[in-house]
Amino acid sequence: MRILFHSGLSFLLCSIFAHVGCESCGCVTLPSRGLRVNCSSQGLRTIPQLPVSITELLLQNNLLTSVTPGHLDQLHDLRLVNLSGNPFHCDCSIQYLRQWLKRNKAVSVMPVCASPAERAQRPIDELTDADFASCASDHCFGWVYNGILCFLLCFLIGLLLWCLQLARNSTFILGIDERHSGFEAESLRSLKPKHRARMSPGTNDLDKPLLNMEILPQILDVLHKQHNIKIKVP
């Protein structure tokens, strides 16, 4: 009965595992060791999506050159992971795997670097911060670049707000001299036929003054107090 139960559980987990895209890997449920996933010697260039319940992960002798950051963080039940025999390229992209291996030495069969030449055959977990000094420089440069962009953006926003405040507090002076005193109503109205056709029959709006000159001082006072516009009359 126990054998049947484990076989059924193994079949179910393997079906789920195949569904997430790793059909070439074999998986088996061990009686006291949990779920083992064997993806060794499959020519894999990336690690497939894995069920979080696995306890043993065999990925040796593939074509892995790096591991996507965060890919192994959800596998909390791992008791064994074998990444040996892969051509890992130990540049800046290997830093995630390096840190993960240092935290999980007890469950790892330690892989080594295949390239570049100066780091070849060195265990990945033994790489030091000095090996990634150029990566830190690139990272700092990125922060400096982003900081400069943020400063320039804040400066432009501040300049725009200052211009708006300056425009709000500015005084506009409109000068009216004798040259404007001869304006007639006809010069301020549209004389196009289509506009004249809209006028009511029997009315002559052109005879009506555009402004009541008696209230002009009040208009000028409102423009000055509410809109800071001054009318300069010689």
Average pLDDT of the chain is 76
pLDDT at 65 exceeding the cut of 70: yes
Choose among 35, 41, 75, 30: nearest CA to 56. 35
* pLDDT for position 141: 55
pLDDT value at residue 62: 96
Give 112-123 pLDDT, tens digit per residue.
Answer: 999 999 999 999
Res. 5 pLDDT band, cuts 50 70 90: very low
Q: Give the integer Cα–Cα distance in Å for 53 and 37.
A: 10
pLDDT band at 142 (very low <50, low <70, confident <90, very high): low
Cα separation, 30 vs 14, in Å, equals: 13
What is the residue type of 150?
Answer: C
d(CA 66, CA 22): 18
For the chain, give every residue range classified as CATH 3.80.10.10: 2-134
Here the tokens at position 30 are: 């061990």
Consecutive H or E run containing 15: helix 2-19
Least confident range from 128-142, 153-167, 192-206: namely 192-206
Q: Tell me the mean pLDDT in the region 55-83.
A: 93
Q: 2-134 in CATH: which number?
A: 3.80.10.10
Which residue shows structure tokens 């570049």?
Answer: 116
Tokens at 46, concatenated:
């990336």
- In 104-233, alpha helices (H): 133-169, 193-196, 216-227
Confidence band for 66, pLDDT divided at 50, 70 and 90: very high
Among 25-39, 65-79, 140-154, 205-219, where is mean pLDDT lowest?
205-219
- pLDDT tens digits, one per residue of 187-211: 445 555 555 555 555 555 555 555 5
